């Protein structure tokens, strides 16, 4: 509780908790539960009391179920890379009821990460299990935000793989281009708690815009081509014109 208060007094944007293992060392398993229910309840309550959203890193169903019940705002990752189930019907139903957003972070694994290079049958089965969980979430109406897990700069450098994540939503999860763009803009802004300021083109919101020569809602690959950018508008003013 004290640490959350310290962070809130420093005016952080949100609180992120590594609720399951983070794979940061030889004894840190991704499917470990990192905190007790009581500890997580205190963290969530304290953050929300200070009007801060809570993002929960979770890569096992036990942790995901617990933090969803406690009312975090986003689930980061949501799959279990050790072959266990990552999401189930009950978790997805609760996420919809509580408007909890899933950030599946496909890019960290598909853009040079372990899924991209894994060729074994066992690895393929694990990937299928994770993707089945994501597809279940989509089917049940869980909101999906595009997030690339950009802390891993050697795998997903910031900027490049934000776009890559949008494309993966189309290529891997079957989104339409417009749905994927919406996940990165409208839903992404909601995930960060700033949907009242950015994410959609509306009166009163910040005018930070990319204008393309071709239509990315028809072909998502337009987003990958710098030559397709016509204008960059920042704070309502033309910043770059091609």
Is 52 in the same domain as 161?
yes
Is 215 in the same domain as 136?
no
Give the tens place of pLDDT for each residue, 155-196: 777 777 888 899 999 999 999 999 999 999 999 999 999 999
Domain holding 220, by residue range, is 207-242
Is 194 in the same domain as 229?
no
Is 129 in the same domain as 38?
yes
Is 25 in the same domain as 115?
yes
| CA atoms of 202 and 145, how far apart (whole Å) | 20
Q: Give the position of tokens 């239509």.
A: 215
Measuring CA to CA, how many Å separate 36 from each of 1, 33, 40, 220? 14, 8, 6, 42
Is 168 in the same domain as 57?
yes
Is 47 in the same domain as 155?
yes
Vertex 146: Cα angle to 232 and 93 (nearest 5): 145
| CA atoms of 94 and 55, how far apart (whole Å) | 16
This prediction has a pTM of 0.92
Spatial CB neighbours of 130, under 8 Å, sequence gap ≥ 6: 79, 80, 81, 86
CATH number at residue 147: 3.20.20.140
Give the tens place of pLDDT for each residue, 101-159: 999 998 877 765 544 554 445 556 667 788 899 999 999 999 999 998 877 666 777 77
Measuring CA to CA, how many Å separate 238 from each of 169, 210, 224, 235? 30, 10, 21, 8
Is 9 in the same domain as 31?
yes
| CA atoms of 108 and 47, how far apart (whole Å) | 27
Instruction: Report the 3 state secondary structure along 26-59.
Output: CCCCCCCECCCHHHHHHHHHHHHHCCCEEEEEEC
| CA atoms of 17 and 46, how far apart (whole Å) | 13
Give the tens place of pLDDT for each residue, 65-98: 999 999 999 999 998 766 566 899 999 999 999 9
Q: Residue 160: what pLDDT?
A: 76
Greatest distance between any 2 Cα atoms in the chain: 54
| Beta bridge partner(s), residue 231 | 211, 241
| CA atoms of 238 and 234, how far apart (whole Å) | 6
């Amino acid at each position: 509780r004290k640490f959350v208060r310290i962070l809130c007094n420093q005016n952080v944007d949100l609180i992120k908790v590594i609720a399951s293992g983070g794979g940061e060392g030889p004894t840190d398993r991704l499917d470990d539960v990192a905190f007790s229910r009581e500890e997580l309840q205190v963290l969530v309550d304290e953050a929300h009391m200070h009007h801060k959203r809570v993002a929960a890193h979770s890569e096992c169903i036990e942790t995901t179920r617990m933090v969803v019940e406690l009312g975090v705002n986003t689930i980061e990752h949501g799959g279990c890379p050790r072959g266990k189930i990552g999401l189930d019907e009950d978790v997805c139903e609760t996420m919809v009821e509580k408007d909890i957003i899933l950030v599946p972070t496909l890019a960290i694994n598909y853009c040079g990460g372990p899924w991209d290079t894994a060729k074994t049958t066992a690895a393929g089965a694990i990937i299928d299990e994770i993707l089945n969980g994501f597809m279940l979430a989509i089917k049940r109406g869980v909101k999906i935000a595009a997030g690339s897990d950009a802390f891993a700069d050697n795998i997903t450098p910031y900027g490049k793989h934000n776009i890559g994540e949008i494309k993966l939503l189309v290529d891997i999860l079957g989104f339409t281009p417009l749905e994927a763009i919406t996940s990165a803009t409208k839903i992404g802004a909601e995930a960060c708690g700033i949907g009242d300021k950015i994410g959609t083109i509306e009166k009163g919101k910040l005018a930070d815009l990319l204008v393309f020569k071709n239509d990315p809602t028809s072909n998502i690959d337009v987003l990958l081509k710098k030559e397709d950018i016509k204008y960059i508008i920042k704070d309502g003013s033309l910043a770059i014109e091609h």
